[in-house]
Structure 1
Amino acid sequence: MPAASPAAPAGGQTSSVLPYPDFHFTGKIGDTFEQSDPATFPQPVKPPKGAPNVLLIMLDDVGFGQFDLTGGGVPSPNMDKLAHEGLLYNRFHTTAMCSPSRAALITGRDSHVVGNGILTEMGTGYDGYTSVIPRSAATVGEVLRQNGYATAWLGKNHNTPPWETSEIGPFDHWPTGWGFEYFYGFNAADSSQLQPILYENHTRVPASSDPSYHLTTDLADHAIDWIHKEKAIAPDKPFFVYLAPGATHAPHQPPQAWIDKYKGQFDMGWDKYREMTLERQKKLGIVPQNTDLTARPDGIPAWDSLEPQQKKLYARMMEIYAAYGAHADYEMGRVIDAVKKLPDADNTMIVYVVGDNGSSAEGGLGGSTDELIIVNGMQQDWQDVYKVMNELGGPRHFNHMPIGWAHAMNTPFQWTKQVASHFGGTRNPLIIDWPAGIKQGGAIRPQFSHITDIMPTILDAAHVTVPTKVNGVDQTPLDGISLAYTFNDPNAPDRRHSQMFELLINRGIYQDGWMASSLAFNPLQVVRGHVDISNIKWELYNINEDFSQAHNVADQHPEKVKQLEALWWEQAKTHNVLPLDWRGPERFSNELTGRPNLAAGRKTFVYDYPLVGLPEGSAPDLKNKSFTVTAETQIPQDGANGMIFTQGGFTAGWGFYVQQGKLVVAHNFVDLERYRIVSTGSVPTGKVTLSFHFQYDGGGLGKGGTVTMFANGKQIGEGRIEKTVPMKYTSSETQDIGEDAGTPVDNTYKPPFKFNGKIDRLTVELQ
């Protein structure tokens, strides 16, 4: 037989250059096939011998002291079982926010190195904040795919730049462009759990008509189905599945039956919860016996100081949150059970990252009905939340619990999500289970580790070489360190000697048992002013002796503080962290930051057919300006009904529709106020041009204005809107024409609320 250039080696050392060379026939070729050597075909790339299946699960906005896995009060029997079979890491760290952690997870590099030092929606264009993962940082999915793996991504994708999330792409920075052959999920920070905007590969998924639909269940179903299909078709081909449900990020929307299970279980309040959790953590050996409970920050009220109605409301919000987490544990458990029943289950590695950051304080002091309130730089009075307490957890609100509970979920540490300087923002549990590679499970591993370590750990287990060149592009070295050295040696000395942290100028630096922390802003500071970096103090903790960062010893070791601060600046310069930027809500504005936008620079937008599913980042920006929406329609003789134009959803936005023969303009001011202006006259039938003009008052951001409605050029209604949304309507909702494909802007109708007439053309004009 003639030699043939192989697509890839069948085992042993894999290539540091991807893709593998194209196949070429190297035998004799004569004038006819009879005079030639027997033909050979190009062979599929084969993975290294013994390469395991990999299931990577990442939850969202989870605190270290949340689940009973690590001593918390939220049941997690499936996590508990997995940790008993595998290993639990109690000194594992994330970046304190969604996009950065997820970028670091899939690339093995520091989030700033790969352009994701902050949320994709807050990018500024500097190298560390472009919101674009560069080609020099091939993902773990791409590397495994080119080494013979079947790859799939299900759930949250919060790393595609917002201006590339529409159905016309480009798709280079979607999961399918990062080496994942199948994608089923959402491209956003968060999503309604009951009425999500989903994509299958590049195509929007129709909304479910099932009244009991839940996103976490749907994702689990699709994951199980894909795994079974992959093993039925190619049983010898290993899979890599990345499963990232929206839980437990806002909106907190678990099934009602789950909420009912936790009634009364959090009446003790957040202060007592923290004490109880630390006691359980010590009993379980999750934390050292000398661990002290950190002090509750001054801005968070003591539970006993709250009014009775506040206690009732906040306990209820925690019940909803607990149900949300417990339900997620159940659904992820279904996927784990399915994997455990596979013929090659023993050679399946399950990596379970229990949160991409600490529990979230984005509900503010008193909780909120809408997380976008904080995004737009405002806070909500708890009394307003109390009025709709019985609706929380359902389809009407994007509800989020108060900061007191978020802080408690991060027991025993200081602070919460967004605070990269302290472990409350960055310390998350990690479980790794791999029967073929881990000899003895049920143990805790204390080595200091980081989310960048996950990619090299997976490649190490798969016997895949970390590539130096992928698709013709030289690769940035990995920042992560494989954790395989800890699998069968509980006392292995740490291989990670230092780690830098930064998010919204909250800074931290770890080195050999010491942690220096510099807190510039905490989540209670919604509005941020100018900062003099040189005046922000550094704290110092000996975390070998002080597990929880309870005792600041900066005054006792001033030279160590100086040394670590200098190390932070050194690493910041080499990791694209600079320039530091303390701005908050204003970074969500495309106009203020100059971020790319498919709508940028245009004043007139013409849609000749009912287009639905256009993300806010690709739609006309209606904020802080006057504008006109005009629809050329055909109204049936028995009258019109339905949505003409909407942008946003139950978090915030606009609606322009016909209801019971009247023209309506609605504006949802981040669920704090809802304006609904109804025409005085009815909408005519036949060919009708319907329009509304919003005349913005001006004088700053988020001001009010006057709405005037017209039918065939004749005014049929007018009204005032006193407040408008200044920065952002939504994370996942869209602009729709002819129906509402997501959640409703106004609770007087139910999506899809399709327009029963015909829209020949719709025009949006910005002024």
Structure 2
Amino acid sequence: MGRTQADSDPAQFPQPIAAPEGAPNVVLLLIDDCGFGQFGTFGGGIPSPTMDKLASQGLRFNRFHTTSLCSPTRAALITGRNHHSASFAGITEIATGYDGYTCVLPKSCGTIGEVLRQNGYMTAWIGKNHNTPPWDTSLAGPFDRWANGLGFDYFYGFNAGDMHHWNPILWENRNLVPKSPDPDYHLTTDIADKAINWVHQVKSIAPQRPYFLYVATGATHAPHHASEEWISKFKGQFDEGWDKYREVTLERQKKLGVVPQDTQLTERSKGLPSWDSLNADQKRLYSRMMEVFAGYGAQCDYELGRVVDACKALPGGENTIFIYIAGDNGSSAEGGLEGSLCENLFFNGITEKWEDNIKVIDELGGPKHFNHFPASWAHAMNAPFQWTKQVASHFGGTRNPMIISWEAGIKDKGGLREQFLHTIDLVPTLYELCGITAPRELNGIPQKPIEGISFAAALQDAKAPETRKTQYFELGCNRGLYHDGWMASSPSFVPWEANRGEWDPDKAPWELYNIEEDFSQANDLADKYPEKLRQMQDMWWVEAAKYNVLPLDWRATERFNSEAMGRPSLVRGRDELTYYPGNIAVPDACSPPMLNKSWTITADIEIPEGDPVEGMVVTHGGIEGGYGLYLRAGKPVFVYNFLSLDRPTFEASEALPVGKHELVVDFKYDGGGVGKGGQVTVKANGKTIAEGRLERTVPAQFSLGEGLDVGMDVGTPIDFTYELPFLFTGKIEKVHFKLGKTDTGEPAAKEPA
């Protein structure tokens, strides 16, 4: 550089980072809660033409494994590290302070989104995000562990384990998405639309750059929501029941070649009833529940097909790697033995009765319920394996279909691959295919080694050596170990039973399988080869110590109690909190903790001249549970939704006059345990206008995905007497909460690790 530009060399701008020449686009499609025997491509009873098409153009993998639960699989999927190494031993709502269990993704486990972004890729995450700590999901942030902060340029979706598909709470990057005006709105369609729109935009603007598109549907996780148009396609198709379904599925799987011809159908898992033991009404209800689920799943595959077609039609479509994973774990048994209208009951340790659920059989799949089919149907979806989601010891919880299609890179169209693979192996495989070296340091942070192993060679050679020799499994103390063709398995807890007792890992039984000869884990060889089993058990403990699996933790519903677990919190220790109009979609984890204690809500409002005031003053939760204080025809109303089972309502007899008012809802908790009742008093300007008792209260959590709203109702309604968003037509100055001390009837616990 000289004194002026005239006597200086020509200026040069810093150039944007370019991806390696010829780097492929990557489209990663992930379905939620899906079993090995669910979709037609792998022998199931739900048609999957999108999966069929990709399989015919690419490869089917029949020994691909997940972690048996959503958040852990997703953490492994985007980092290439084992789920405990990435601190995701469970879902975010049950995190504890132990290293492998915090559900705070370490900066030392950089995501594929961030790595590809720094290597010239455009990146998007659309759909479900269950990898952000709940205490970080409010508008107060921090945002470094939202999807954008994890390396994705664009995010559209929800920050929760599941979401209502008719009235979801969604975010576009950091912005709350308004309720759709479309009367036929469905979340799966919306996710597909946004994925297509994003890829169209970025490839129009920057056609020379490759993209990484991660689409994670809410389907087929509960709630099982589908239109009657989709449900009716399956009328009568499941009337023969779950036992017959498993038999027929295995026959189809053998014909398709996705299982060996000598594969045996495993026994029905312990505790599940036979179809023949049911009465006629149970069969009618459970068949309908399966029809709803089938419609839900079929629509999901259809919508993903729209995404695939859009990506293929773009220039460079032939150089696009499509990875379609049918499940982040096996099919879910969280509907319990009798099915569910409100999945949140399971997480509060409460069971349902089919006699109650059959009363609304024609409403299943619609917006009024958070429905889930019975555990026996989940077991059938996982055919030919034992067990279900949450059971990491057996393939019913961990083996999921995977398809990889790449027109420019795979020659063996329609081929089958049988190498033993794990979710963590995808990241290093994609790095190799994209010509990228995993960084030793990312954003100034030294990185943990990638624990997955690339299987890129298997894309070209069906006989490529198996790169994964050993893999541990653990989820909720259900344990397993794969090593050189053998699988040791120790199922410890039944997923459809929320309440668990004490457990001794040294007394828990183990099973042993030679899965080179026994594809489905049908023949337990523990008694025949005790020394081999002992070797596998010892190896499991070594792997557990290596990857932050210890200490083992078998607590269940109690881990949902954030206060008891000592998780980071924006509200813990605050006995008074104030909110203002515009505070909406405050996540459950950041909302006032009002369970198992006395509390008082005070709302300062003003009634203007004119028509009677209507609308929501304050609400927490939705159709799954919670409360709401609102005005209807000018009259104050307080509703307590006990997990959709009943909704005690306390309504004033007269409308409030014009002017300012202090509305108070006071609850005096009986105490002496969790979920107890108490006295409700509603006052206006110091005068009692309604009162009564709650005979029971929510013990563990109001909602799975909805929190606090002031001045309107975002998400689902607390009851069905009003239309969303139920904007308050008066004026709200503020809403104040005063909280008592938690009373669970137990001595104060030590601060947990």
**Structure 2-normalised TM-score?**
0.97
1:392 counterpart residue number: 364
Computed over aligned residues only, the root mean square deviation of the Cα atoms, in angstroms, reads 0.9
2:408 counterpart residue number: 436
List aligned pairs for 1:310-329, cutoff 5 A.
310-329=282-301
1:468 counterpart residue number: 440
> C-alpha deviations, 1:167-198, integer Å up to 9, x for none?
22111101101110000000000001111000
Query: 1:635 and 1:387 mapped to 2: Cα distance?
Result: 40
- Of 647, 661, 666, 2:639 maps to 666
Q: What is the letter of the counterpart of residue 764 of structure 1?
A: F
> C-alpha deviations, 1:292-350, integer Å up to 9, x for none?
10001231111011010000000000000000000000000000001111121111101
Check whether the contact 1:69–1:76 (CA below 8 A) recurs between aligned residues. yes
- Of 426, 437, 447, 2:419 maps to 447
Q: Find out whether 1:346 has 2:327 as its counterpart.
A: no
Q: What is the letter of the counterpart of residue 455 of structure 1?
A: V
**Structure 1-normalised TM-score?**
0.96
Q: Find out whether 1:163 has 2:146 as its counterpart.
A: no
Q: Find out whether 1:680 has 2:649 as its counterpart.
A: no
Query: 1:407 and 1:254 mapped to 2: Cα distance?
Result: 21
> C-alpha deviations, 1:724-759, integer Å up to 9, x for none?
111111121120011111101112222111111100
Check whether the contact 1:681–1:717 (CA below 8 A) recurs between aligned residues. no
1:694 counterpart residue number: 667
2:18 counterpart residue number: 46
Query: 1:727 and 1:524 mapped to 2: Cα distance?
Result: 17
- Of 546, 560, 564, 2:532 maps to 560
1:175 counterpart residue number: 147
Secondary structure of residue in 2 paired with 1:644: strand
Secondary structure of residue in 2 paired with 1:487: helix
Query: 1:524 and 1:622 mapped to 2: Cα distance?
Result: 27
2:304 counterpart residue number: 332
1:30 is displaced (CA, Å) by 1.2
Q: Find out whether 1:609 has 2:609 as its counterpart.
A: no
Q: Find out whether 1:66 has 2:38 as its counterpart.
A: yes
Check whether the contact 1:114–1:134 (CA below 8 A) recurs between aligned residues. yes
Q: What is the letter of the counterpart of residue 119 of structure 1?
A: I
Check whether the contact 2:33–2:330 (CA below 8 A) recurs between aligned residues. yes
- Of 676, 681, 698, 1:725 maps to 698
List aligned pairs for 1:10-159, cutoff 5 A.
29-159=1-131
Q: What is the letter of the counterpart of residue 85 of structure 2?
A: V
1:610 is displaced (CA, Å) by 3.7
Secondary structure of residue in 2 paired with 1:646: strand
1:303 counterpart residue number: 275
Q: Find out whether 1:286 has 2:263 as its counterpart.
A: no
Query: 1:478 and 1:434 mapped to 2: Cα distance?
Result: 24
Q: Which moved more, 1:748-757 or 1:236-245?
A: 748-757
Secondary structure of residue in 2 paired with 1:648: strand
> C-alpha deviations, 1:459-478, integer Å up to 9, x for none?
11100001111011111011
Check whether the contact 1:184–1:198 (CA below 8 A) recurs between aligned residues. yes
Secondary structure of residue in 2 paired with 1:387: helix
Secondary structure of residue in 1 paired with 2:506: helix
Query: 1:750 and 1:486 mapped to 2: Cα distance?
Result: 54
Q: What is the letter of the counterpart of residue 85 of structure 1?
A: Q
Query: 1:433 and 1:367 mapped to 2: Cα distance?
Result: 36
1:479 is displaced (CA, Å) by 1.2
> C-alpha deviations, 1:553-590, integer Å up to 9, x for none?
00000011111111110010110101100000110111
List aligned pairs for 1:537-556, cutoff 5 A.
537-556=509-528
Q: Find out whether 1:759 has 2:732 as its counterpart.
A: yes
Query: 2:422 and 2:723 mapped to 1: Cα distance?
Result: 44
Q: Find out whether 1:741 has 2:749 as its counterpart.
A: no
Q: What is the letter of the counterpart of residue 223 of structure 2?
A: P
1:382 counterpart residue number: 354
Q: What is the letter of the counterpart of residue 431 of structure 1?
A: I
- Aligned pairs, number: 739
Query: 1:665 and 1:608 mapped to 2: Cα distance?
Result: 19
> C-alpha deviations, 1:528-572, integer Å up to 9, x for none?
011111110110000001000011000000011111111110010
1:583 counterpart residue number: 555
Which 4+ runs in 1 deviate beyond 6 A? none
1:5 counterpart residue number: none
1:711 counterpart residue number: 684
1:621 counterpart residue number: 593
Query: 2:326 and 2:421 mapped to 1: Cα distance?
Result: 14
Secondary structure of residue in 1 paired with 2:460: coil
- Of 297, 314, 332, 1:360 maps to 332
> C-alpha deviations, 1:35-56, integer Å up to 9, x for none?
2111111100000111000001
Percent of paired sites with the same residue: 57
1:625 is displaced (CA, Å) by 0.7
- Of 202, 205, 212, 1:233 maps to 205
2:479 counterpart residue number: 507
2:627 counterpart residue number: 654
Q: Give unpaired runs (5+ residues) of structure 1.
A: 1-28
Query: 1:203 and 1:568 mapped to 2: Cα distance?
Result: 44
Check whether the contact 1:299–1:524 (CA below 8 A) recurs between aligned residues. no
Secondary structure of residue in 2 paired with 1:556: coil
1:676 is displaced (CA, Å) by 1.4
Query: 2:550 and 2:646 mapped to 1: Cα distance?
Result: 39
Query: 2:595 and 2:473 mapped to 1: Cα distance?
Result: 34
Secondary structure of residue in 1 paired with 2:132: coil
Q: What is the letter of the counterpart of residue 656 of structure 2?
A: V
1:122 is displaced (CA, Å) by 0.4
Q: Give unpaired runs (5+ residues) of structure 2.
A: 741-753
1:255 is displaced (CA, Å) by 2.0
Q: What is the letter of the counterpart of residue 625 of structure 2?
A: A
Check whether the contact 2:512–2:524 (CA below 8 A) recurs between aligned residues. yes
Query: 1:574 and 1:179 mapped to 2: Cα distance?
Result: 27
Check whether the contact 1:501–1:509 (CA below 8 A) recurs between aligned residues. yes
